[in-house]
Structure 1
Amino acid sequence: MKRAKSFAFHLQSLQAFDHCDPEFAKALDLFSKSLTPSHSLTSRRYSVWSAVRSFLDEIFVCVVESYSGVWQAELLDRVKLSEMCKSPPVWRADPKIFESPSGYCRAELNVFKVDKLEVKAADTLSINWQVSNLELWDANLRYAIRSAQEAASDSNESSCNRFCGTLDTVRGLFDFLAALRPGRTMHYGNWLSDSRTRPQATSYCALCWRTTKRWAAFTDAEDGAGRYSPDARWRKLSNRYCEIHDPSDPDSMYHCDLPYKPAFLRELEALMQRGRSEFLFRFPLPNGADIQELRKTAYDQVHAGLRPATTSLSVTPGLRERVWVLHREGLRQAEIARRLGVSRQAVSKAWKSLKELVSQRQAEVYINPVTGEPDIAPSVLADLASLHAQGVPIAEIARRTRLLKRTVEVLIYRAG
């Protein structure tokens, strides 16, 4: 019964993303209708990979090969979806963060070929091997999307959106497949075999984008072969909050961010296309955003000061949001001031504040996949440390370093 409920829950999330190729969306619908709670990643009788091969392989190859735009085609290397679980990709992307003269931080992709592919160790669980391969292919899909979007032009915008929407849908498919773990395993010697076979996913903090303290320790305890030390202390750690939001630490950000939790969850649902955003002005997602970058976008949105922490759809938007809407309609500042019944100086100040906010967000839009923290240029971090040592207030440090105020607070908290 529990497995059937878990299957039904995950199946609801298996939907085509916006702009997904219509034929692939139809195939995905047929694929989802063919599955049962008995299907898993390792089952022979109820093989989910057989269903992928039957419904999705051909149309996926067609979508990839028919795209005429510029992108890093090596990242997918003409592989079929049903084959991605068997081995890791030959080509990988190594994003490099660099700081432009204007101060913005951008990620530049360096695609390279792996000299020697990893092979499955004899004592590694098949489920662990498949999921680890899917994670690597998911990263390739993510960077393939980013490369296509950065090279897109007005002439091929429609085809690029369809291509990227299809790859985003495949990434959602991988999230669904990772949850289809077998109900039991015949693999011996694995101390936590039961917890590794039940449907599960990465645990993220309830207040931000970081992984929970328990999950971070859980993954650190793995020995590389799917085994975990029975002496690991991760079971006593929180599986709801991260290190930054640890309720047991009186100096953590827990009490500061707790009032924002409802708004954060609502915006997160909107970004995942499961609801409607209550904000008029919204931060765009970075190209090929992963789940942590999506969660950080929601976090930055609700902490940007555009609405009170307890905001809801019934609350009147703030001045900056209303100024942005009217500015987008082509109105000048004097006209906006008359329309809103405020002074022209107030409109100018709100517009300048909004532009500074966008600039600060741009400097930390990407997440470092290793640390899970914003990928910020080292020179900016050095300036932040220097200013903090001089006793400069946090708001002023954020202005000078062009970082979000909440990010500055977290970096200072971690440093000290």
Structure 2
Amino acid sequence: MNRLIIENVRIISPEEQRDEVANLYVNNGRIADPFRKTEQDTVIDGTGLVAMPGLVDLHVHLRDPGQEEKEDIITGTNAAAAGGVTSLLCMPNTNPTIDNAGVISYIKEKAKNCKSRVYIAGSITMGLEGKEPTDLKALRKAGAIGLSDDGRPVLDPEIMASAMKKAPELGMTVVAHCEDLELADGGKINEGKMSKKLGIKGIPAEAEDKGTKREINLAKENNVPIHVCHVSTKTSVQMIREAKEDGVKVTAETAPHYFTLTEDVLEKRDADYRMNPPLRTEEDRLAIIEGLADGTLDCIATDHAPHTEEDKKDFEKAPNGSIGMETSLAAALTVLYHNGDFSLLDIAKLMSTTPAKILKINAGSLKTGALADIALVDVDKEWIVDRDKLHGKSKNTPFKGMKMKGKVVKTILEGKVVFEED
């Protein structure tokens, strides 16, 4: 018998709009109705803690296969567990690309006994080259639940539209990297005051906005869903808002760095603050928060993108990307909950319940019968992000040295504790 009781814990479950202090019961890996405690049961004292559904991060780069010096499936899921993430969607820009059943089989096998559940996004085009469509049915049959060429947009709108039309029939979710590469034109940071000050080629906000507009138009024309990745601009937020009002089947995510940081931190010339889309202006940051508050932006994902210290050594030549799974909940609690108007139910909905629904996976709930994936959180714990204490291989966090308020102290996957704070 595998039974667990978390006593006297504040239970946050958006699916039931439940926010109360009570005992949370787990039996054989699932949330259970109350039962009589015995000496054989595992008991956790939840006094002063919050139990929310394990986080669902629908935008993660595990780098495995092919770039294991940056991250691998095991270290990536260790990092996930340390951040309360119990389900994640891994992106296909591996080497080889996740464009065939063989790579999917490799990932599934390696992820079997990991500390977070790994879901897989197959690529829309072979090798992410934007030319030849992949066999979507074969990818689905092999186990992929998402589709994306993330890291790049799908340049051919006909290929993109075809994937968007086929995905719903296969029970798959298309997640779109929205960018006009001609406008981006090899830029490194946001085009604006900081690019001028540093003398570095910038990426105009219009590059993202034009890409977002194209995907919205494809979704509208074909009456099919699209999920927009890593929204960072005020204009993209507004376009998504208007599209939703118009009945377009669009969902969207942003990342913690876009509602926490601005381009101003780039004055340090530290490549850990370089990602794509780049950090934007304070006006954009506030628009992102507004979009999260009014439901324009459906969820928070990390775009967890590990790189080695050698990769990130040169500010201008370094690849884009930052890690984020261990700090995502802390950033959301710090900025949105403690310093904003978001409730704990709002945070859990943005980071667990809604992304689970977008991916159509069994997660994001603490109702009776649900999988017992639980993040136990001390929402008032203050801590400093120490890059050397993070659990993944790479340390390229944009939150290093920052004071956060709110920390995961235990992560439970199907009733078993997979992470416990030292």
Structure with the higher strand share, 1 or 2: 2
Structure with bigger gyration radius:
1
Q: What TM-score comes out, normalization by structure 1 length? A: 0.24
Structure with the higher helix share, 1 or 2: 1
* Greater relative contact order, per chain length (Cα 8 Å cut-off, separation 6+): 2
